[in-house]
């Protein structure tokens, strides 16, 4: 799954390459891509023909392109890509939707191998589409409220990593960046969230922001070739990962052997010395 930095990198590419351009046509090569647009594919295509894209916005892992007061809402799912390029290049088998522009410049293609991603029109959704208004602000948004989030995390009765992954508390943090931030903040993933001090939560959220910011600088993390920017290039942040995927290797801070624990059908990676297991654990 792409996480927030990877989606933010796609947003920046869209902002740069398609803002201010008028949509000429939309070809839907696989109707499943607009399955959440209930009036159907023809309505989708007709509704955005001739509209001007005025920017590219994001909340959590959702992206939207404002067109007038409405928006085109996109979610990349497991394997979706939004690619901008020469309109004459061949269409790959995984292209689900293709947007062309009146200026005959680079086109925009939504490709998706596993078809979990989707596109929809959000009426009146230019500022924030109603379908995603329940999603909490993420740590890269300017109006992210650190004090309020600290209080909400400490009021939970759950493990701290589970709280970080809870999209109704804070959006956009997935398994990789949760493990990285917990290592930077020297906190074990199973610490009961109500036992964290305000200072510990502040340290953890600062670590989340730092890890995201470092990942953005590196162009994101690419565990397979699917997570790419709008030009099809992958990032290299995985070289900087401190714990995620490093079981059995030495901690970059203290040299102890990184451990892997089973967690919610996935894994948690941590350092036994920097992140001591709490006497009472929750997960
Ligand atoms: Zn360590």
pLDDT tens column, 72-98:
999 988 778 899 999 999 999 999 999
| Among 129, 116, 112, 95, CA closest to 26 | 95
Contact (CB, 8 A) for 56 and 111: no
pLDDT band at 60 (very low <50, low <70, confident <90, very high): confident
How far apart are the CA of 224 and the centre of ligand 1, in A?
27
How far apart are the CA of 269 and the centre of ligand 1, in A?
11
At 211, which helix (H) or strand (E)?
A: helix 198-217
Contact (CB, 8 A) for 171 and 137: yes
State the pTM of this model. Answer: 0.84
Question: Helices in the chain by DSSP H: which ranges?
Answer: 4-18, 41-48, 146-155, 160-165, 175-184, 198-217
Catalytic residues: 2-3, 61, 266
How far apart are the CA of 242 and the centre of ligand 1, in A?
10
Q: Has residue 54 got a pLDDT over 70? A: yes
How far apart are the CA of 271 and the centre of ligand 1, in A?
5
């Amino acid at each position: 799954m792409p996480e927030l930095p990877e989606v933010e990198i796609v947003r920046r590419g869209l902002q740069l390459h398609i803002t201010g351009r008028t949509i000429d046509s939309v070809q839907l090569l696989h109707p499943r891509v607009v399955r959440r647009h209930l009036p159907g594919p023809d309505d989708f295509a007709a509704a955005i023909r001739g509209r001007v894209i005025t920017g590219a916005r994001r909340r959590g892992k959702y992206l939207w392109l404002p067109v007038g007061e409405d928006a085109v809402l996109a979610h990349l799912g497991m394997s979706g890509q939004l690619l901008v390029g020469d309109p004459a290049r061949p269409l790959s088998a995984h292209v689900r939707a293709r947007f062309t522009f009146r200026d005959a410049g680079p086109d925009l293609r939504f490709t998706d191998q596993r078809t979990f991603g989707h596109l929809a029109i959000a009426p009146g959704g230019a500022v924030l589409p109603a379908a995603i208004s329940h999603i909490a602000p993420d740590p890269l948004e300017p109006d992210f409220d650190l004090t309020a989030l600290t209080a909400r995390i400490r009021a939970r009765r759950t493990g701290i990593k589970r709280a970080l992954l809870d999209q109704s508390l804070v959006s956009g943090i997935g398994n990789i960046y949760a493990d990285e931030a917990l290592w930077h903040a020297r906190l074990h993933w199973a610490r009961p969230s109500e036992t964290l001090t305000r200072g510990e939560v502040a340290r953890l959220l600062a670590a989340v922001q730092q890890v995201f910011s470092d990942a953005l600088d590196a162009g994101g993390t690419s565990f397979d070739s699917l997570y790419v920017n709008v030009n099809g290039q992958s990032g290299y942040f995985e070289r900087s990962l401190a714990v995620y995927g490093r079981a059995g290797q030495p901690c970059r801070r203290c040299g102890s052997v990184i451990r892997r624990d089973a967690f919610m059908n996935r894994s948690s990676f941590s350092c036994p010395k920097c992140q001591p297991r709490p006497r009472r654990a929750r997960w």
